Structure 1
């Protein structure tokens, strides 16, 4: 009987976590106009993991730039922009226009890819490591 109670509790917790992740993903997609799966691929294609740690991107172990884990839970982007989808998309597309002193290179990211990357980053759990 105790085993069934534990199993039921674990199932309920799993369901709640899944629902939260789905809400996070829905928010990310709606707010950015992007596609998280395409964003995952774009982060790899543009080599973002060479400088950043990115949850869910296996090769993203860079230490030059900050970790992007938990980005959705931050107050500011790049230490100066309010953490809003439009600002993240702008930062990804033209970091030097936002901050000429930044070490982040301008990679020529087009609007569609920037929206997709933002959708992926916002779809991650705010406290992921």
Structure 2
């Protein structure tokens, strides 16, 4: 093969490298969509304020929820994982909200004694933030 032909082949291979690198990063299947069809988002926003979640988290749409201890919950519905541990879906989010220490022992997120129905409504609100 001539030098110009080799350079052309090399250029074609180099052009594909970014595509190969990006597709190689995701060997695991994507998590299920984080939608929930249960719960009351309007009540969830009130519960976020009631349980004091905003003392640690910034939560859009919740008055006074501007904490900087935990991560901001902005665009929560678009995230892939909860606490870097669980695929972001409704069952996992309710579990995390109700008992974060069982998911990640020693996490800074306290167990606030959130009732299951309250966790469902909080999750419904968080999924509106996408």
TM tier relative to shorter chain: 0.7 to 0.9
Aligned residue in 2 for 1:70: 75
CA deviation digits over 1:68-120, x for unaligned, max 9? 01011011101110001100000000000001120000000000000000000
* Mapped contact 1:29–1:36 kept (Cα < 8 A): no
Structure 2, unaligned runs of 5 or more: 1-33
Structure 1, unaligned runs of 5 or more: 1-26
How do 1:38-117 and structure 2 match up within 5 A?
Answer: 38-117=43-122
TM-score (norm. length: structure 2): 0.72
In 2, Cα distance between the equivalents of 1:28 and 1:36? 12
Instruction: Tell me which protein shows more helix as a share of its residues.
Output: 1
TM-score (norm. length: structure 1): 0.72
Aligned alpha-carbon RMSD (Å): 1.3
CA deviation digits over 1:14-34, x for unaligned, max 9? xxxxxxxxxxxxx9551xx21
Q: Which has the larger radius of gyration?
A: 2
CA deviation digits over 1:25-51, x for unaligned, max 9? xx9551xx2100110110000000000
Aligned residue in 2 for 1:10: none
Aligned residue pair count: 97
Structure 1 runs of 4+ with >6 Å offset: none
In 1, Cα distance between the equivalents of 2:117 and 2:84? 24
In 2, Cα distance between the equivalents of 1:57 and 1:39? 10
